[in-house]
Every structure is written in C-alpha cells, then in structure tokens.
C-alpha cells in the first residue's frame, strides 16, 4: 500500500540578516524564546537534532537528522515525533531557505514528505504559521508572540 504524501509551504519576510535568522533557528536559547522549545544539535550533516520542550520537564517532542547545511542560507532536517523515531516511514523533511532582500530576508519553510491526513500534517499546518509569526516578531521587536494562545470566545 502506497502512502500518499503532501507538503506545506510558508513564506514570510523578516527585517533581519540571514545570519540572525539562521541563528534564531539553530540556537537553543533563541528557539526557547519564540518557539517554547530548544532546537539542539551541533548542526553538522548527519548529526542528530532534537526539539526539546523549554520547561522543567524537558520532554523531547521531535527528532531527526541534519540533512543539509549551507549557513546562513539553507538548512534541511528530517523530522518525526519522538514516539515514532524508530519508524523511518513516519519521517518528513523540513527545509529552511533564507534569501536576502535589501534590508530583510525572505524565509521559506517547506515541510514535505508528509503523510497526507496524518496527525503530523494537522499539527504542522497549525503550528508553522504561529511559530514563524513568533520568530518574525521576536527578531523584529525582541518580543515573541504566545504560540500556545487559544482563540478568544466570541
């Protein structure tokens, strides 16, 4: 049985240098501020990376490998729930492309090789817009948004 795959692409523009955006994605102290998780790795091709909740519990939520690094322009990661780390068919791929534009950058995040209709697809479809909006706010103002906020009741 063939598993149908899909992708999610998000593009935003951030008033920052490519170096600052790349650092914000790869520095645990920065990701903790706007993402609520530490992205932990040595960021070398073939190395493991972990997405660890930035709280007392320090739960590992996501895992993967560093597939490609061209700092500060491109980072490619394999991506899976920690609970599915031993199931290669459950891994997807995330590509961060950082393109300079005068006094800002274009950040394109492509999350592909996703199992269509999966919990991962549902989660990242809600998650990436919040996380990347928080990243943009954090780099431009020094303050992230609350990515865990709930909609207000009408």
Which pLDDT score, from 0 to 100, does residue 132 have?
A: 98
Structure-token match 């995040």, residue found: 109
Three-state secondary structure call for residue 26: helix
User: Is residue 5 a contact partner of residue 115, using CB atoms and an 8 Å limit?
Assistant: yes
How far is residue 125's CA from residue 127's CA, in Å, rounded to a whole number? 6
Backbone φ and ψ of 136, nearest 5°: -60, -50
How confident is the model over 56-115, as pLDDT tens digits?
Answer: 999 999 999 999 999 999 999 999 999 999 999 999 999 999 999 999 999 999 999 999
Written as one string, the DSSP assignment of 27-89 is -HHHHHHHHSEEEE----TT-EEEEEESSTT--EEEEEEEEEEETTTEEEEEEEEGGGTT-GG
Three-state secondary structure call for residue 121: helix
User: Which of 135, 112, 134, 106 lies closest to 124, judged by CA?
Assistant: 112
How confident is the model over 101-153, as pLDDT tens digits?
Answer: 999 999 999 999 999 999 999 999 999 999 999 999 999 999 999 999 998 88
User: Which of 132, 66, 144 lies closest to 105, judged by CA?
Assistant: 132
């Amino acid at each position: 049985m063939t598993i149908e795959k899909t992708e999610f692409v998000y593009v935003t523009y951030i008033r920052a240098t490519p170096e600052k955006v790349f650092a914000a994605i790869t520095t645990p102290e920065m990701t903790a501020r706007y993402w609520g998780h530490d992205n932990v790795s040595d960021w070398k091709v073939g190395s493991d990376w972990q997405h660890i909740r930035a709280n007392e519990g320090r739960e590992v939520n996501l895992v993967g490998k560093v597939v490609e690094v061209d700092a500060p322009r491109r980072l490619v990661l394999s991506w899976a729930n920690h609970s599915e780390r031993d199931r290669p068919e459950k891994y997807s791929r995330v590509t961060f492309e950082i393109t300079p534009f005068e006094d800002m950058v274009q950040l394109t995040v492509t999350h592909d090789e996703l199992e269509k209709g999966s919990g991962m697809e549902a989660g990242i479809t809600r998650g990436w817009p919040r996380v990347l909006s928080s990243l943009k706010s954090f780099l431009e103002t020094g303050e992230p948004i609350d990515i865990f906020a709930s909609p207000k009741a009408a």
